[in-house]
Structure 1
Amino acid sequence: MTRGPRRKQQADTPTTAPGVSATAGSNAAGRNLFNPVAIRAEYALPAEAYAPIPDDAARSGVSDIPRSVLFVGRTSELDALKAAFTRAGEVVGHAVHGLGGVGKSALAAHWAGSRGEPVRWWITADDTAKVDAGLAGLARALHPGLAGLPAELETERAIEWLAGHDGWLLVLDNVEDPAHIDPLLNRVAGRGPVLVTTRRATGWHRHATTVRLGVLEPADALDLFVRILIQQGPRDTNGADAVCAELGYLALAVEQAAAFCAETGTTPSDYLGMLAQWPARMFAATSAGGDSARTIARIWRITLDRLTDTPLAGDLLRLLAWYAPDHIPRDDLLNGAADPPSCAVALGRLAAYNMVTDNHDGTLSVHRLVQAVARTPDPHDLHRHTDGIARARDHAAELLSNAYPDDSRNPANWPRYRALLPHTDALTTHHTADALSEAAAYRAEQGALASALHAHQRTRMAYERVLGPDHPDALTSRNSLAGAYESAGDLGRAIPLHEQTLTNRTRVQGADHPETLISRSNLAYAYESAGDLGRAIPLYEQTLANAERVLSPGHPMIATVRANLERARSASGPSS
């Protein structure tokens, strides 16, 4: 906001219209300093343009508040705003902050539209230039005769009027930085309510209290989706609740998905399939007349653009995108992501823009749709290049694997295992990780054999797909799956897997490799469990001989194989 220029004090200084200059001239004797200036009528301004805005300018009411036809829910938030702005003796500012697309502007429009102030003015406040432009628009709405004045004078007239009158409210929408509106708030504080919407959670302590806005309630999200979908007539709404859930009840995403379905004739169930198969295209899709800059793919790109001075912030967001959306143990899963000070600064920046939530219990949360967009490559988005997403995925897998304790049998480690299991499941839904085998081992130890088998099956398929069937990690996962079948009593599946694993290990790693010795011993144990001692005992004998030859004398595997051999011989009777 700028102040107007000082008024000229010379009474005889001619006034000129914008674009018209006085022309200097003189006669031969030099007696005339200036010739009279002729002002063309089309450049002349009415006299009221040079006077303050009248006190009664708002008598007929002035408003540019957007209509909120499709507003749903938010009862508690509206009640909180109503209470905050009606406290006796207080006229304060409030900042509604939240993730981009969560519905901050819709809430502000609905609240402001229900108010009774004669002047209700909406200003898009991304930067100081837009704030000034919005104020200039208010000045012209209050006093049309101001049109034609320099914009900075219109802005100043609006601020002067606001500072000297009651009976107005302002909505400052999408404020990027509190500093952009400080000059305005400093001059009009106490005269009328000011509601700010922003992605920024911090920096408001000087002028406003904050209200965090979350996602829609499931029932409200479904109501919004269905209302948009059936605007043109009856439609198939089956699957609408599933779409809302998949979109994490984010207001903008629900609105755009419903509009897409309504326009294209897509059923909610088909939309869900498209979202799974072509996520990048669906995140960028809009209906006719929709704002392409406000798609769910782009709203967070704008936020990340603001964070380019902290590159680690984008790296951490892409990493966190591979875990479960809630209860991400910060100390465990970000241990080693970066040095602690840098990590703290980057997370602080993400939290300040509501891209992550830093919970009081030491965990982090990320909206599931933010995660989905962050791990979906887009060559046109510098924050979502394929190589960066792949690095983040692999780093997430490494950190998760390292976070698991070594001993799944130790009850002291079980709380940590339970905390990591949801993130293992989330990561392996999209990509494999070493951590899944650790999680499967814990589940087997807890007696959850069905879920352990499923986890081992997924691990094996993923490792073989990513690393190849002969990679040592793939062979280990196959051995673990065979052991899981054996624990479940399914020797018919366990034994062929053990045999295949031993054959591949012998070929790839050699007959005397410690991992090959383990596979041979496991196969012998499976034969013994099946009652086939004729095959079990020779394998035990071969394993023991090789282990005594290649391993140190005190190696625990030697004692284990020897004990198994003795048990098998005893079971076979004296003839053995």
Structure 2
Amino acid sequence: MASLEQVLRPRSERAATQVVTQAMSGLGGVGKTTLALHYAHSHCLGYTIVWWINAETPETITDSLAQLTTRVNPGTNTGTAAGDALAQWALAWLDTHPGWLLVFDNATHPDHLAPYLARLTNGDHLITSRLTHDWDALAGQPLHLDVLPLSAATSLLCQLAGRNDPAEHPAAGELADELGHLPLALEQAGTHIRRTRGTYSGYLERFRTQTARMLDTPGNGDPHRTTIARTWRITLDTIAERDPLAVHLLQIMAWLAPHDIPRDLLDGLADDPGAEADALALLNDFSMITLNESTASTHRLVQAVARTPDPHDPHRTEQAIQQAQNTAVAQILYALPDAPETNIRGWPRWRALLPHISAYLSHTHPDADTNTTDLILHNMTIFLLSQEQLNQATSYAERSTTTSARLHGEDHPYTLASRNNLASAYKLAGELRRAIPLFEKTLTDRQQVLGDDHPDTLTSRNNLASAYESAGDLQRAIPLFEQNLTDRQRVLGDDHPDTLTCRNNLASVYESAGDLQRAISLCEQTLTDSIRLLGEDHPHTLTSRNNLASVYESAGDLQRAISLCEQTLTDSIRL
């Protein structure tokens, strides 16, 4: 309001010929019309007349001007005159009665307003629009309205609901967060709560379980009242006429996290390589997304609407929503880097994709997971285990194990791999009572399905031995590690990375058993081979150097241990 008043300062404070044209832009439902209406009411005495114009189409502009003619000629019969003639009379009247304010509400294109703004130079123009750009030729810098901050959103919700007990503020804040701090959604919720004598938590539960109904239910029960779903349907109709791809991209983004969506995650969806950029720009123009050089963001309620089927909305058919969901998960899988555990350069990409994978999984039921979803779960589990994000890794591994068994059967290699990941997550979390039986079962099943010499079988034997070591059962751990090293050397060769890992693990269990001479010998050999085969900067090389330092420390050789530890820390921070 203060910014608006600064631009549209009283006419007495500026030259009589100075005309101000101010545009306000923002997402549908953010409060543009409400702010314009409030300004008009607060400052009506400063203008000779204030007139509201529905600017959605050229026809609605003409109709609004025709109504002005009727208003300023109350005793004249204008019923037989054509609308265009009445509009022209209104323009002539405005030319001879300076000092007015015209509010062009919900303008959809600057070209619709340009002829009027060029002619009407004896007053001020206030434009509201969902279109954020293309006003430069007609107006100054648009005033862009964003959603409310949390404190203001919570306060507004409490005021509208008539429930301002401080004890309820946390629940009100949670609901305001779910509604994305959007004023129209807050109004819809607050009015509904007041009218039904409901609660914040009750409305939140209904919103989550009956999303379609709540998005299209006016708070006061008036079937003609504006709702979130109807508000954005108008915008999407306009966007779809210009570029159907833009609507499809918005539907895909609905399955991702609302913020920091990598733009390249939406590449390759059109035959024209530049089509996606143009479609995103169009969505940004209409405030449906916020776009920057490498990422895009959208409002969580825009996403909720786009994910919710409505047989009466051509943009939200079951088929369109399912297609968008399938595309979203396929694009995620395609974007995953290789080697999640060891490809350090891929880790930033994994971290950027993690919120979007989490969002996708939260919007879909495990019973509907596909093979594509399972591949994402499997690879994401491995990455999270490498980062020791154990809670999320365990959750993904459990879902992947269930999904793989449903899709492929209990004995399928995919299922066994998922079960192995789950056991690893339990082990890293210190839940050895759950990890060891799972490792034992997986090893037995892999021996039966894949054979004793299959690399996955060797991995299972190694993991079981490691779990025994963690449980302090060295008597069972050492023979398994020794057998595994022998088998890996025979099957994979001395220089295979898995052989180096196995040798490293055997050295570790020798150290635990106090056999430092053999431990040091194995660690030194493993570090030398890792540097030769993998390079100084490979994660396995860093691990080998760290383990050798540990054995030196156990042997009391602190000088060599400290030197290696300092080098490993420096390299780890750098890498």
TM-score by length of 1: 0.76
Preserved contact between residue 30 and residue 147 of structure 2 (Cα < 8 Å): yes
Q: Find the counterpart in structure 1 of residue 113 from structure 2.
A: 181
Match of 2:470 in 1: 529
SS in 2 for 1:193: strand
1:114 is aligned, of 35, 42, 61, to 42
Partner Cα distance (1:389, 1:499) in 2: 43
After TM superposition, give the deviation of residue 370 of structure 1 in Å.
Answer: 0.9
Whether the aligned pair in 2 keeps the contact of 1:456 and 1:477 (CA below 8 Å) is no
Report 1:438-449 matches (<5 A).
444-446=385-387, 449=388
Partner residue in 1 for 2:261: 328
Within 5 Å, give how 1:147-162 maps onto structure 2.
147-148=78-79, 149-162=81-94
Question: Shift of residue 198 of structure 1?
Answer: 1.0
| 1:297-376 superposed matches below 5 A | 297-309=229-241, 310-331=243-264, 333-338=265-270, 340-359=273-292, 362-376=294-308
CA shift, 1:314, in A, is: 1.9
Alpha-carbon separation, structure 1, partners of 2:458 and 2:108: 63
AA aligned opposite 2:78: A
Q: Distance in 1 between matches of 2:440 and 2:314?
A: 48
1:461 aligns with 2:398: yes
User: 1:304: Cα distance to partner?
Assistant: 1.6
Over 3 Å counting, the alpha-carbon distance change for 1:99 and 1:534 in structure 2 is same
Report the alpha carbon displacement of residue 364 of structure 1 after superposing the two structures with TM.
1.4
Do 1:307 and 1:349's aligned partners in 2 also have CA atoms closer than 8 Å? yes
Alignment-derived partner of residue 134 in structure 2: 203
Structure 2 SS opposite 1:207: coil
Closer/same/farther in 2, CA of residues 297 and 508 from structure 1, 3 Å limit? farther
Q: Which residue of 2 aligns with 1:215?
A: 147
Deviation at 1:505, TM superposition (A): 4.3
Instruction: Return the structure number with greater relative CO, CA threshold 8 A, min gap 6.
Output: 1
Partner Cα distance (2:157, 2:283) in 1: 29
CA distance in 1 between counterparts of 2:327 and 2:390 reads 26
CA distance in 2: counterparts of 1:453 and 1:278, whole angstroms? 33
| Change in 2 beyond 3 A, CA 1:546/1:237 | same
* Among candidates 19, 22, 32, match of residue 104 of structure 1: 32
Q: CA deviation at 1:131?
A: 0.5
Q: Does 1:139 align with 2:72?
A: no
Q: State the alpha-carbon separation in 2 of the partners of residues 543 and 358 from structure 1.
A: 53
Q: What runs of 5+ residues in structure 2 fail to find an aligned partner?
A: 518-575
Q: Residue 61 of structure 1 corresponds to which residue in structure 2?
A: none
Note the C-alpha offset of 1:276: 1.5
In the TM superposition, 1:166-565 aligns within 5 A as 166-188=98-120, 190-209=121-140, 210-230=142-162, 239-292=171-224, 294-309=226-241, 310-331=243-264, 333-338=265-270, 340-359=273-292, 362-405=294-337, 406-407=339-340, 415-431=348-364, 444-446=385-387, 449=388, 452-468=389-405, 470=410, 472-506=413-447, 512-536=453-477, 539-540=480-481, 543=484, 547=488, 551=492, 554-561=495-502, 564=505
- Partner letter of residue 195 of structure 1? L
- Partner-residue secondary structure (3-state), 2:320: helix
Q: 1:515 to 1:340 in 2, by over 3 A?
A: farther
The answer to whether the 8 A contact 1:437-1:455 is kept is: no
Counterpart of 1:283 in structure 2: which amino acid? Answer: L
Moved more, 523-532 or 174-183: 523-532
**Distance of 2:322 and 2:454 partners within structure 1:** 32
The alpha-carbon distance between structure 1 residues 474 and 187, as it changes in their structure 2 partners (threshold 3 A), is: farther
Cα distance in 2 for residues equivalent to 1:383 and 1:472? 40
More helix by share: 2
Question: Following TM superposition, by how much is the alpha carbon of 1:241 offset from its aligned partner in structure 2, in angstroms?
Answer: 2.4
Closer/same/farther in 2, CA of residues 307 and 117 from structure 1, 3 Å limit = same
Q: Give the AA of the match of 2:19.
A: V
1:123 maps to: 53
Single out whichever of 344-353 and 89-98 deviates more from structure 2: 89-98
Amino acid paired to 2:468: Y
- Structure 1 residues 353 and 113, CA gap change in structure 2 (3 angstroms): same
1:510, distance to aligned residue in structure 2 (A): 5.7
SS at match of 2:67: helix
Pair 436,164 (structure 1): closer, same or farther in 2 beyond 3 Å: farther
Instruction: Please give the secondary structure, in 2, of the residue aligned with 1:208.
Output: coil
Q: 1:249 Cα deviation (Å)? A: 0.9
Structure 1 residues 120 and 472: alpha-carbon distance in aligned structure 2, compared to 1, 3 A threshold: farther
CA pair 463-161 structure 1, distance change in 2 beyond 3 A: same
Question: Which amino acid letter does the alignment assign opposite residue 106 of structure 2?
Answer: N
- Whichever residue aligns with residue 38 of structure 2, its letter is H
Instruction: Quote the Cα distance in structure 2 between the aligned partners of 1:316 and 1:178.
Output: 25
Q: What is the Cα deviation at residue 415 of structure 1?
A: 4.4
Code of the aligned partner of 1:518: T
Q: CA RMSD, aligned part only?
A: 3.4
Q: What is the distance in 2 between the residues matched to 1:385 and 1:461?
A: 32
**Post-superposition offset of 1:492:** 1.9
- 1:288, distance to aligned residue in structure 2 (A): 4.1
How many residues are treated as equivalent by the alignment? 492
Could you tell me whether the CA contact under 8 Å between 1:486 and 1:494 is conserved in 2? yes
Q: Kindly tell me: are residues 198 and 514 of structure 1, through their superposed partners in 2, closer, same or farther at Cα, counting changes over 3 Å?
A: same
CA distance in 1, matches of 2:10, 2:48: 20
Matched letter for residue 457 of structure 1: T
- TM-aligned CA deviation for residue 472 of structure 1: 4.8
CA 1:562–1:412 in structure 2 vs 1: closer, same or farther (change >3 Å)?
A: closer
Structure 1: how far apart are the matches of 2:236 and 2:317?
14
Whole-Å Cα distance in 2 between the matches of residues 494 and 403 of structure 1?
31
What is the letter of the counterpart of residue 23 of structure 2? A
Query: Which secondary structure does the structure 1 equivalent of 2:28 belong to?
Result: coil
Distance 1:296 1:467 in 2: 39
**Cα 1:84/1:488, change in 2 over 3 Å:** farther
Are the structure 2 counterparts of residues 387 and 533 from structure 1 closer, same or farther at C-alpha, using a change threshold of 3 Å?
A: farther
Q: CA deviation at 1:507?
A: 5.7
One-letter amino acid of the structure 1 residue matched with residue 290 of structure 2: T
Q: 1:3 corresponds to which residue?
A: none
Q: Which amino acid aligns with 1:363?
A: T
Alignment-mate amino acid for residue 492 of structure 1: R
Secondary structure of the residue aligned to 1:294 is coil
Distance of aligned partners of 1:502 and 1:408 in 2 relative to their CA distance in 1, 3 Å threshold: closer
- Cα pair 2:384 2:393 within 8 Å, conserved: no
